[in-house]
């Protein structure tokens, strides 16, 4: 199985490298492909200072964890996403969070589920009939039932 992974999932794994999210990435999904747009780097690095402060990391520890986690992910250049999918994704994310446009466009183009921890995004997209989205509890349920 392939999943598109949101930056908030990566940030969660950085903040808690021994936690549930990191465990899912490195153990439960070890034989599955995780994909995201290159934009993830912008989002994570934009929050670098806050992450370092919250986790009490050094800059080197942050970079090392980011490197370890992103080695598990296949990155897609946003230029490979069609304008049609970008426009549709922009319309879907308007009034919710347009920063997720690339992730949603990638999900639309590939027909892959988008794994996020953003409850507002999930609720808003589902209200707009976008169902190709999964939160961590739903993912754990699929893994538990071996439906993935």
**Domain CATH code at residue 10:** 3.40.50.1010
User: Quick one: what percent of the chain has pLDDT higher than 90?
Assistant: 96
- The whole domain housing 26 covers 2-144
Q: What is the pLDDT of residue 1?
A: 86
Q: What is the pLDDT of residue 22?
A: 97
- Taking residues 12-27, report their average pLDDT: 97
Q: What is the pLDDT of residue 147?
A: 63
- Reference 103, options 22, 9, 20; nearest CA is 9
3-state secondary structure (DSSP) of residue 114: strand
What total of structural domains would you count in the chain? Answer: 1
Model confidence over 78-120: pLDDT tens digits? 999 999 999 999 999 999 999 999 999 999 999 999 999 999 9
Q: What is the pLDDT of residue 146?
A: 77
Model confidence over 26-80: pLDDT tens digits? 999 999 999 999 999 999 999 999 999 999 999 999 999 999 999 999 999 999 9
Contact status, residue 122 vs residue 131, Cβ threshold 8 Å:
no
d(CA 116, CA 42): 17
Least confident of 9-13, 33-37, 90-94, 144-148: 144-148
pLDDT at 148 over 90: no
115: left (phi over 0), alpha (psi -120 to 50) or beta: beta
């Amino acid at each position: 199985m392939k999943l598109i992974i949101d930056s908030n999932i990566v940030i969660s794994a950085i903040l808690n490298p021994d936690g549930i999210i990191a465990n899912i990435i490195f153990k439960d999904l070890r034989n599955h492909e995780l994909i995201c747009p290159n934009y993830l780097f912008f989002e994570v690095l934009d929050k670098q200072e806050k992450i370092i402060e919250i986790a009490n990391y050094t800059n080197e520890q942050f970079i090392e964890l980011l490197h370890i986690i992103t080695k598990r992910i296949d990155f897609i250049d946003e230029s490979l996403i069609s304008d049609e999918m970008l426009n549709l994704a922009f319309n879907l994310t308007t009034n919710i969070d347009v920063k997720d446009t690339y992730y949603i466009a990638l999900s639309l183009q590939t027909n892959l589920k988008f794994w996020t921890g953003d409850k507002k995004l999930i609720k808003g997209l589902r209200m707009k009939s976008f169902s190709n989205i999964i939160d961590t509890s739903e993912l754990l349920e699929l893994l538990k039932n071996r439906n993935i």
